Amino acid sequence: MALIKNPFDHDLTPADAPLVHVQLDGQWVEVPRGLNVIEVARRFGKLIPHYCYHPKLSIAGNCRMCLFEMGTPKLGPDRKPILDAEGRPVLQWMPRPQIACATTAFEGIGIRTNSPLVESCQEGVLEFLLLNHPLDCPICDQAGECKLQEYAFDYGKGRSRFGEEKVKKPKRVDIGPRILLDDERCILCTRCIRFARELAGEDCLGITERGGYNRLSVYPDKRFTSNYSLNTADICPVGALTTKDFRFRMRVWFLKETESICVDCATGCNVTVGSREGIVYRLTPRVNEAVNSHWMCDQGRLGFHPIHSKHRVLEPGRRADGRLFPGEWPLLLRQVAEALRKLDPSSLALLVSARMTNEELFLVRQLRDLLQGDGEIFTEVVPRKGKADGLLRSDDLNPNSRGARILGIGTDGERLPELRKGIEEGKIRALFCLHEDAAGAGVPEALLSGLVLLVWQGILADRSSEIAHWVLPGASFAEKNGTMVNRAGRLQRIQQAIPTPGRAKEDIRILRGLILALGGEDFGQSGPEVFAKMAARIPAFQGLSWVGVGNQGVTLPGEVQ
């Protein structure tokens, strides 16, 4: 089950639903009783086109695109189905087409998805939908992933017989802080209305006016402020709802799509990263029925922007006399390794981020083991707490707290206060910050500047990087491969969408460089390689493979709550 409760799950059937026999385009097949006809066809590789139907929302039945021809078993005088030579019921076909979204499978139902009647219905509906549509595809963000375009191509007439004046409706309507509405493009499928009402729990959209002048509107004096508002842009089959963030930024067909996960909280919503030439343009939710179903929150969706921030650290360097001097990676890594080796292990602390991948954390652990000898190196992660919203957002804003726990790197920051105390007492005199700002984690800058060694690895400049002795620019979630464990104990992959910018380096390579310089073992220089080595050593990941984790992740047996 997904971590969010959908109001409906039309595409999932209960395991105990009995199988019934269904004739689909002449073939008899078996499907669970009660499955709707769109999903029946989908299971056998047939598409019944539709606009208003969404498997997770209530059935509206208004677009009329999914009309199909329905047959029922012909009954004999004894009120029993008449059987043909093969023992199958003889069907009689209803003269009126039915909507597939609201028709569910029963024993002996006949389904025709491509008969002349069905084709005429599809052609008719498309002609109607295009009558008053502005046909502004060249400037529409939806172009390329627009169901109106696709179906017009697949089922449409090719030309319009409409010679009248089109209905004028409002454009660029600001219905919420992150979303814009173009009423002329809207085909009034009401998916967004149902989403707002049934899923986001913010009933604020509706239809106003009447008949051909119908239009989508936001309630008077209301705005669509939900943290899930941008999902409506995803489920909008046309370009009526667009996100202010992505609007006019990039044609979608230029986007490279990478399957990854959102790292904005511990839920780990599955996403598709849309990028082009080293720049991420958008995240869109990717279906995973064990995590986020079809959805993600706006905050997570827009959370990728810092990776292109002007505060991104792009040059590795060493600070001397208060100034940072850029250096070559091999040299800098040798210097850092040397400085770490010289330390008394008990005087070193590692401040690690639970936003790092399991592979990186595993290498941090190897580095720690390599350095600490008989002593103990203090290691802890920085906690981030937010508010769970009962939908997808977790109260834990670190995406991999469970991974950090499994790998023995930190325990949600429980020991963090000891870090400041240790520095104050002079027990800790050296600090390695990995994707965390020690100043932000409660160690005053004055204390930090008194350290004999401060190494900083991360992506965005912060108070620690300003005073660190060595600055090692790492990679953002879009620039690396790895795995994380979400709040439900599910191991999921993040995948590299773009290269690291400037001279920044994937964290696995930085850590590998340090380990090798300290004479440690080579665990490989890519996520999959390190994962394989990690799976062999960490019991929680026993028996797992990079490929096996797949794009949907796997639940770790020992981690299910």
Partner 1 sequence: MAESGALTDRLREHRLILRYADEPGYSQDIDCYLRHGGYEQLRKALSMDPAAIVAEVKASGLRGRGGAGFPTGTKWGFIDHTKNRKPVYLLCNADESEPGTFKDRQIIYKDPHQLLEGMIIASYANRAHLAYIYIRGEMVRGAQILERALAEARAKNFLGTNILGSGYDLDIFVFRGAGAYICGEETGLIESLEGKRAYPRIKPPYFPAALGLYLCPTIVNNVETLCNVKHIVEMGGAAFAKIGTPNNTGTRIWCVSGDVRRPGYYEYDCGAITLGELLYDVCGGIRDGNRLKAVIPGGSSAKVLRAGEIYRVQRKKPDGSAEEIEMRLEDLPLDFDTIAASGSMSGSGGVIVMDHTRDMVECLSNLSAFYAHESCGQCTPCREGALWMHKILRRMVGGGARPEDPQLLLDVSGQIAGRTICAFGEACSWPVESFVAKFREEFEAKATAAQESESLSRAC
Question: What is the closest distance, in whole angstroms, from the C-beta atom of residue 124 to partner 1 in the complex?
Answer: 3
When asked if residue 96 is in the footprint of partner 1 (CB under 8 A), the reply is yes
DSSP-H helix ranges across 160-236: 191-198, 231-235
Among 55, 97, 399, 410, binds partner 1 (CB under 8 A): 97
Asked if 296 interacts with partner 1 (CB under 8 A), we say no
The answer to the question of residue 338 lying near partner 1 (CB under 8 A) is no
Instruction: Give the angle 478-483-487 at the CA atoms, nearest 5°.
Output: 105
Interface with partner 1, residue 198, by CB under 8 A: no
In terms of CB distance, is 211 or 390 closer to partner 1? 211
User: What is the rounded distance in angstroms from the CA atom of residue 378 to the CA atom of residue 380?
Assistant: 7
Q: How far is the CB of 131 from partner 1 (least distance, A)?
A: 5
Q: Which is nearer to partner 1, 13 or 357 (CB)?
A: 13
Q: Which stretch binds partner 1 (CB under 8 A): 94-102, 242-250, 282-290, 463-471?
A: 94-102
Choice from 14, 26, 212, 220 touching partner 1 (CB under 8 A): 212
In the shown chain, the binding pattern of residues 423 to 452 toward partner 1, with x for contact by CB under 8 A and - for none, equals ------------------------------
Nearest distance, CB of residue 549 and partner 1, angstroms: 41
- Min separation Cβ 194 and partner 1, Å: 13
Which residue stretch of 62-70, 84-92, 216-224, 237-245 sits at the interface with partner 1 (rule: CB under 8 A)?
A: 62-70
Q: Is 124 in the site for partner 1 (CB under 8 A)?
A: yes
120 binds partner 1 (CB under 8 A): yes
Nearest by Cα to 133 from 233, 231, 237: 237
Residue 390 engages partner 1 in binding (rule: CB under 8 A):
no
Report the residue number, 69 or 298, with the smaller CB distance to partner 1.
69
Selection from 355, 330, 349 nearest residue 262 by Cα? 355
State how far the Cα of 429 lies from the Cα of 60, in Å rounded to an integer. 65
Q: What angle do CA 307, 312, 314 make, to 5 degrees?
A: 115
| Residue 114 · residue 25 · CB < 8 Å | yes
Under the criterion CB under 8 A, does residue 61 sit at the interface with partner 1? yes
Cβ-count burial of 467 within 10 angstroms (0-12 exposed, 13-18 middle, 19+ buried)?
middle
- Of 127, 145, 418, 466, which one interacts with partner 1 (CB under 8 A)? 127
Query: Site size for partner 1, by CB under 8 A?
Result: 39
The one segment of 64-72, 254-262, 296-304, 334-342 that binds partner 1 by CB under 8 A:
64-72
Piece in contact with partner 1 (CB under 8 A), picked from 210-218, 369-377, 451-459, 544-552 = 210-218
Q: How far is the CB of 287 from partner 1 (least distance, A)?
A: 26
Is residue 16 a contact residue for partner 1 (CB under 8 A)? no
d(C-alpha 429, C-alpha 451), whole Å? 5
CB of 357 closer than 8 Å to CB of 496: no
Stretch of residues binding partner 1 (CB under 8 A), selected from 98-106, 216-224, 263-271, 418-426:
98-106
For residue 450, the 8-state DSSP code is T
CB nearer to partner 1: pick between 209 and 344: 209
Residue 109 binds partner 1, judged by CB under 8 A: no
Non-local CB neighbours of 527 within 8 Å, separated by 6+ positions: 357, 359, 480, 481, 482, 483, 493, 496, 508, 546
- For residues 431 and 273, give the distance between their C-alpha atoms in angstroms, rounded to a whole number: 34
Q: For residue 16, what are the contacts with CB-CB under 8 A and spacing of at least 6? A: none
Taking CB under 8 A as the rule, does residue 287 contact partner 1?
Answer: no
Q: Is 389 in the site for partner 1 (CB under 8 A)?
A: no
Does residue number 187 form part of the binding site for partner 1 (CB under 8 A)? Answer: yes
Q: DSSP label at 323?
A: E
Q: Across the chain, which distance is largest between two alpha carbons, in Å?
A: 101
Residue (130 or 430) nearer to partner 1, CB: 130
- Secondary structure letter of residue 222 according to DSSP: -
Tokens of 411: 């325990």
- Binding to partner 1 by residue 206, rule CB under 8 A? yes
Provide the β-strand partners of residue 89: 83
Shortest distance, position 67 Cβ to partner 1, whole Å: 6
* CA–CA distances in Å: residue 80 to residues 77, 91, 368: 7, 12, 76
Can you tell me which of 22, 37, 57, 99 binds partner 1, judged by CB under 8 A? 99
Q: Give residue for tokens 């939900």.
A: 226
Query: Which listed residue (18, 77, 138, 211) binds partner 1 by CB under 8 A?
Result: 211
Among 41, 57, 105, 125, binds partner 1 (CB under 8 A): 125
Q: For residues 435 and 379, what is the distance between their CA atoms, to the nearest angstrom? A: 13
- The answer to whether the beta carbons of residues 115 and 69 sit under 8 Å apart is yes
Q: Hey, which residues between 128 and 167 contact partner 1 (CB under 8 A)?
A: 128-129, 131-132, 161-165, 167
Among 40, 121, 497, 530, binds partner 1 (CB under 8 A): 121
One of 15, 116, 158, 210 touching partner 1 (CB under 8 A): 210
Gap between the Cα atoms of 242 and 440, Å rounded: 36
**Sequence-separated (6 or more) residues with CB below 8 Å from residue 516:** 522
Residues ≥6 apart with Cβ < 8 Å to 11 = 39, 42, 55
Stretches 36-44, 91-99, 178-186, 420-428: which one binds partner 1 (CB under 8 A)?
A: 91-99
Task: Give the footprint of partner 1 on this chain (CB under 8 A).
Answer: 59-65, 67, 95-97, 99, 102-103, 120-121, 124-125, 127-129, 131-132, 161-165, 167, 187-188, 206-207, 209-214
